[in-house]
Amino acid sequence: MEEPNSNPMLNSVILGNIFEMLPISDLASCRQVCKTWFEESKTRWRRDMWLKLGESDGDRSNDTTLALSKFLDLDENAAVTNPPNLEGVTFKKFKLQHWDFHLEKDDKWKAQFWKTYGPVITHLAIEQSVFGSREDFEAVIFQLIPNLQSLTLNKNKFNVKESQIKMRQSFSDVVFNANKMESSLELSGFPINTYNEVHTFKGLLKAMLNLSFNGGYKWTIEHLDIFHLHRNWCHRFEPGCINFLLKSLRFPLTSLSLDIGSDTYPSDFKIILETYANTLRKLVVFRKDGRSLIPDVSHRDFPFGVQLESLAELRLLGTAVTPNLKFMRFMPNLRSVFLAQETGSSMMDMEPFLSDSHLFSDLRKQQMEHQWGYLCSVFPVGNTDFSQLDNTLLQKMEEFIMCGKNDTICSAEQVAALARIMPNLRKVRVGLDNDGFRIVCSAWRELELLIIHPCEVNACGITGTLPGLQTQLPNLNDLTQLRYFAYACKGYLKSKVLAMDDSVVGIDTYKNLIKDTRAPPRPQITNEALQEFIQNVPHCMIKRFHDEDEEWPDLQEHNYEDDSSSGDESPTDFEEDMANILKFNNEIIEQQRRGNGGDEDDDDESEDVEDEDDEESEDVEDDDEIGLDVASDADEADHVHVDNRAG
């Protein structure tokens, strides 16, 4: 046990565990509390955070970027001489901004940086920097950082004079640690340039292909994110070329994220899907506007007849990747599907509860940057001929999120069809009226998250009542697992909300919610009922404890000295402990008696307990064993026995 008298909030085990869980913004505050906290925060901070390094203190660098020379000055690791031993806490993710990569120029700071940190860098982002030549680029990526796992390039300039680069020749003497660059490759903002330049994505692929043909390298890239490859959005995924290269390289891709382009031929898209059909577990496809991917006789709709057995997560963003849900036939192991045609604020609240929480915010950011209007949309459910999905059953489907500008209400038949295809859903966003809502309540009893949008459900629907009908219809109370419930989210006037009255206040399910987002109550709800409702929705635990701050005992009041060393514990404390334990045991006995007749053995032991029980107050240090049985739903009952033998 830790030293007596110490504040437990200085204990490194406790701090380590808590710091692992905190949101980064709060960890940032914690770092300023005291030296111990600062030191303890380093492990997670330096593992998870990116350090932004500017080349110099010059005009370009500002407060939020650390100048390289200053960093080397400050960082304890930089002082370590050759060979650097950076096993401990050091930054491994660097964001280099406004650097000038002219490696032939003599620069002692940079030389020291690459020498010390080159081998430990696993994640590198290079932004708004200049490469003096192709050699500089290749040296940075291929030589100086042997353990690179993830590379992000964004808005850089390349001063490449040659319009054609002889790949084979130049790469033959590059030391290239191919197998290390395995976890992800993320590229954005590449200049769209002439062919064969290694710093375009296509050029990089060509170089890689060249290496695998001529150098025997086996590429192990599993995650490829080229979502933001193009400065704006993609018009046409370069036919033949990238498809061909991706196909030839045959990465063992498990996740692929891309902007497929508004005018891309289905046949080109199909080639990509075919290439990775066996390994792909996650697919994110964005498509901006344009015509719908025109199905022709041979290719059909997305995924064009390609069977994607392993695919679990599918994100179809933007518009017109698919006009209906028939793609589900080809993906029997789907777990989570987002069909998002808009990225409006209605999604913000629920994003933390979804499996890809950053996806929408990223898209929203991009949407603002390029000033898209609302994307035009289709309503996939409405366009789906469910009879074609008759034999489709997606047992693993847990998350089905649809959001589109022109979403419409799903009819009861459509909801029923969805429920048949995905019987085990946990999270859903869908447009509903009373009839559809009732089907949701009876079909998806395990729902944890429900967002109704647009919403035409009213108080009758929520409570499952109908005027003149005695029996109660399926209603919100049937969803006992519900933790997040939202409807008619703010900012959306389209829903014909929603006359709620006092009858909805008593709904039990509300008590379980940790988050509830709703439109302002209509006049039908009285002030008293509203107050009651607010009391009945205890939101999340965090908030609850904030409110009860005063009830936390003063830390000083708790005597850690007594707790920390068992030997010194005063008899009174110990007796109290034992009495508590016995009390706890007795409670369990009671429970057990009520719940479980018990077999002979158990009865026997319970007798013992009763004896002990009687003597408990006088003689807690008796040596007799106290046994008891615990009620259990499981077939074999679990036992908790107490044997008090301290003295």
Partner 1 sequence: MALVRVISSDGAAFLVSQRLAKRSGKLKTEIETFRKSSDNSEAQPEIRIVTIRAEILRLVLQWLQQHQNDPVLPANQNEQDGRGDAEMGQSQWDRDFLAPMDLGIVMELILAANHLEVKGLLDITCKLVESKITGRTVDEIRTAFKLKSDFKGNEEEQTRLENRWCVEN
Q: Is 232 a residue that touches partner 1 (CB under 8 A)?
A: no
Task: Quote the least distance from Cβ 514 to partner 1, whole Å.
Answer: 7
Task: Quote the least distance from Cβ 352 to partner 1, whole Å.
Answer: 7
Tell me which residues in 33-62 interact with partner 1 (CB under 8 A). Answer: 33-35, 37-38, 45, 48-53
DSSP 128-140: S-EESSHHHHHII
Q: Is 14 a residue that touches partner 1 (CB under 8 A)?
A: yes
Alpha carbon 250 to chain centroid distance?
27
Q: In sequence order, what are the residues at sequence separation of 6 or more whose Cβ sits closer than 8 angstroms to the Cβ of residue 473?
A: 438, 464, 465, 466
Does the CA dihedral 409-414-419-425 come out positive or negative?
negative
Q: Cβ closer to partner 1: 23 or 467?
A: 23
Strand, helix or coil for residue 219: coil
Tell me which residues in 435-454 interact with partner 1 (CB under 8 A). Answer: 448
Q: Is 464 a residue that touches partner 1 (CB under 8 A)?
A: no
Q: Is 31 a residue that touches partner 1 (CB under 8 A)?
A: yes
Q: Cβ closer to partner 1: 33 or 469?
A: 33
Q: Is 12 a residue that touches partner 1 (CB under 8 A)?
A: no
Task: Quote the least distance from Cβ 552 to partner 1, whole Å.
Answer: 6
Task: Quote the least distance from Cβ 9 to partner 1, whole Å.
Answer: 4
Tell me which residues in 512-531 interact with partner 1 (CB under 8 A). Answer: 512, 514
d(CA 342, CA 346): 10
Q: Figure out which of the listed residues 120, 348, 419, 630 binds partner 1, where binding follows CB under 8 A.
A: 630
Of the candidate spans 235-243, 303-311, 314-322, 623-631, the one that interacts with partner 1 by CB under 8 A turns out to be 623-631
Three-point CA angle 108, 110, 114, nearest 5° = 120
Q: Cβ closer to partner 1: 593 or 641?
A: 641
Task: Quote the least distance from Cβ 165 to partner 1, whole Å.
Answer: 32
The answer to whether 323 and 379 have CB atoms below 8 angstroms apart is no
Task: Quote the least distance from Cβ 465 to partner 1, whole Å.
Answer: 27
d(CA 592, CA 405): 56
Q: Is 64 a residue that touches partner 1 (CB under 8 A)?
A: yes
d(CA 593, CA 616): 20
CA distances from 591 to 58, 610, 615 (A): 73, 14, 21
Q: Figure out which of the listed residues 108, 291, 594, 645 binds partner 1, where binding follows CB under 8 A.
A: 645
Task: Quote the least distance from Cβ 345 to partner 1, whole Å.
Answer: 21
Q: How many residues bind partner 1 (CB under 8 A)?
A: 90
Task: Quote the least distance from Cβ 426 to partner 1, whole Å.
Answer: 9
Query: What binding mask, one character per residue, do residues 467-486 give for partner 1 by CB under 8 A, x or -?
Result: ----------------x---
Beta strands (DSSP E) in 474-574 are 484-487, 515-517
Q: Cβ closer to partner 1: 178 or 588?
A: 588
The answer to whether 198 and 138 have CB atoms below 8 angstroms apart is yes
Ramachandran assignment for 336, one of left (phi > 0), alpha (psi -120 to 50 degrees), beta (any other): beta
Task: Quote the least distance from Cβ 421 to partner 1, whole Å.
Answer: 24
Q: Is 29 a residue that touches partner 1 (CB under 8 A)?
A: yes
The answer to whether 131 and 101 have CB atoms below 8 angstroms apart is yes
Task: Quote the least distance from Cβ 569 to partner 1, whole Å.
Answer: 6
Q: In sequence order, what are the residues at sequence separation of 6 or more whose Cβ sits closer than 8 angstroms to the Cβ of residue 74?
A: none
Of the candidate spans 19-27, 167-175, 206-214, 284-292, the one that interacts with partner 1 by CB under 8 A turns out to be 19-27
Q: Figure out which of the listed residues 373, 523, 571, 647 binds partner 1, where binding follows CB under 8 A.
A: 647
Of the candidate spans 167-175, 249-257, 539-547, 606-614, the one that interacts with partner 1 by CB under 8 A turns out to be 539-547
Tell me which residues in 169-188 interact with partner 1 (CB under 8 A). Answer: none
For 26, the token pair is 């709060």
Tell me which residues in 346-375 interact with partner 1 (CB under 8 A). Answer: 352-353, 355, 357-358
Task: Quote the least distance from Cβ 301 to partner 1, whole Å.
Answer: 32
Q: Figure out which of the listed residues 59, 550, 618, 636 binds partner 1, where binding follows CB under 8 A.
A: 636
Find, among 430, 422, 381, the residue nearest to 403 by Cα: 430
Q: Cβ closer to partner 1: 10 or 86?
A: 10
Find, among 417, 415, 443, 442, the residue nearest to 429 by Cα: 415
Measured torsion, CA atoms of residues 519, 525, 529, 534, in degrees rounded to the nearest 10:
10
- 550 DSSP 8-state letter: G
Find, among 328, 339, 343, the residue nearest to 397 by Cα: 328
Measured torsion, CA atoms of residues 530, 534, 537, 540, in degrees rounded to the nearest 10:
150
Q: Figure out which of the listed residues 55, 66, 230, 513 binds partner 1, where binding follows CB under 8 A.
A: 66
Find, among 265, 413, 386, 257, the residue nearest to 328 by Cα: 386
Task: Quote the least distance from Cβ 553 to partner 1, whole Å.
Answer: 4
Q: Cβ closer to partner 1: 145 or 514?
A: 514
CA terminus-to-terminus distance, the chain: 21
Q: What is the largest CA-CA distance in the chain?
A: 95
The answer to whether 627 and 606 have CB atoms below 8 angstroms apart is yes
Task: Quote the least distance from Cβ 163 to partner 1, whole Å.
Answer: 35
Q: Cβ closer to partner 1: 218 or 558?
A: 558
Task: Quote the least distance from Cβ 396 to partner 1, whole Å.
Answer: 15
Task: Quote the least distance from Cβ 269 to partner 1, whole Å.
Answer: 28
The answer to whether 479 and 447 have CB atoms below 8 angstroms apart is yes
d(CA 411, CA 152): 45
Q: Cβ closer to partner 1: 35 or 291?
A: 35
Tell me which residues in 540-579 interact with partner 1 (CB under 8 A). Answer: 540-542, 544-546, 549, 552-556, 558, 560, 563, 566, 569, 574, 577-578
Q: Figure out which of the listed residues 388, 526, 580, 617 binds partner 1, where binding follows CB under 8 A.
A: 580
Q: Is 76 a residue that touches partner 1 (CB under 8 A)?
A: no
Q: Figure out which of the listed residues 7, 147, 159, 361 binds partner 1, where binding follows CB under 8 A.
A: 7
HEC assignment per residue over 552-619 = CCCHHHCCHHHHHCHHHCCHHHHHHHHHHHHHHHHHHHHHHHHHCCCCHHHHHHHHHHHHHHHHCCCC
Q: Is 95 a residue that touches partner 1 (CB under 8 A)?
A: yes
Q: Which amino acid is at 489?
A: C
Q: Cβ closer to partner 1: 60 or 105?
A: 60
Of the candidate spans 236-244, 332-340, 386-394, 639-647, the one that interacts with partner 1 by CB under 8 A turns out to be 639-647
